[in-house]
Amino acid sequence: MSTTASQGQSVHANGIDIHYLDQGNGDPLVLLHGGVVSTNPIWTGVPIAYASHMNTLAEHFRVIAPDTRGSGKTAHSGGTISFDLLADDVAALIDALDLERPLIAGFSEGGIAATILAIRHPQAVRAIVNHAGFDAFDPDAPTIAMMRHILGGSPDATEPDPDAAARGFEASEQMRAMFELMKRDQHDGQGEGHWREYLRLSWDRCTHHPGYTYTDLPRITVPTLILTGDRDDFCTVEQAVTAYRQLPDGELAILPGHGHYIPPSAIQATVEFLTRRLAIQS
């Protein structure tokens, strides 16, 4: 394992070098970022990233925040990046860092990976927060068509089109700013133009169902919080209720007035759930 204070740390796990940040003390919390972003501090202030909330979470836990395979400073060794592979990466990271059944929290794509991790490796985790990452388990979710449009330029696209994605991002001032940050982030992590490869690598897992549905959620026996905003365009309240009702030890939190992003109230709900469940288990 190598350590560079200004660049975080890396550990070899599941055949790749996983870059991660490690901050705080206490019970370990593995924090999984969503799509487009990474753990790069340039995302501070952007509401779809955890960067602005690391200090708050680190006041309560030892936070281990990895870059997803193919993004940030974690390079991909080749082939399709499925959610199964991302979940196995996290399981291997847990083993490599010798973490004892850590807590897991993830937003959007990170929430999907966290949940599949618990399905595939039920003994690896202690509790889960799935924030707006449960739509993937709905076989009728409109998210697939939405992601085909975002990454391929059309709801019926059959392959990624980074140029079409760029035009879509640049169509609005808010999305244009995020797109410029993504290009800078991927350049910092893996070189000029890597944003194109990142979008290509995201295509398969974002435009196909992961192979699990709500009927797989009863296999998760650890405490699990389903968290979303009542104005989320990707994860609806109805989907949240369906996911929650399948969990043997689930809780549900709906944030009023919030969409598909990470407000301080989501961090507060995450901290409260995890600390309360840790107290019950101890």
Whether 7 has a pLDDT exceeding 70, the answer reads: no
pLDDT at position 217 is: 98
* Residue 2 pLDDT class (50, 70, 90 cuts): very low
Question: Looking at residue 212, what is its pLDDT?
Answer: 97
User: Residue 166 has what pLDDT?
Assistant: 94
Residue 3, pLDDT score: 33
238 has a pLDDT exceeding 50:
yes
pLDDT value of residue 224: 98
Residue 281 to residue 43: CA distance in whole angstroms: 34
For the chain, which residues make up each domain, given as ranges? 2-141+213-281, 142-208
Which DSSP string corresponds to 11-59?
EEETTEEEEEEEE--SSEEEEE--SS--S-GGGTT-TTSSGGGHHHHHT
- Give me the pLDDT at residue 1, please: 40
Give first-to-last CA distance, the chain, whole Å. Answer: 31
- Cα Rg for the chain, rounded, in angstroms? 17
- Whole-structure pTM value: 0.95
**Structure confidence by residue, pLDDT tens digits, 256-265:** 999 999 999 9
- The mean pLDDT value for 223-234 works out to 97
For domain 2-141+213-281, which CATH number applies: 2.40.50.140, 3.40.50.1820, 3.40.50.300, 3.30.559.10?
A: 3.40.50.1820
8 Å CB contact between 112 and 133: yes
Determine how many CB atoms are found less than 10 A away from the CB of residue 17. Answer: 14
pLDDT at 281: 81
Give the pLDDT confidence of 176-222 residue by residue, as tens digits: 999 999 999 999 999 999 999 999 999 999 999 999 999 999 999 99
pLDDT of residue 6: 39
Name residue 13's beta-bridge partners: 16
- pLDDT tier for residue 4 given thresholds of 50, 70 and 90: very low
pLDDT digits (tens, 9 = 90+) for 65-88: 999 999 999 999 999 999 999 999
Per-residue pLDDT band at 173 (split at 50, 70, 90): confident
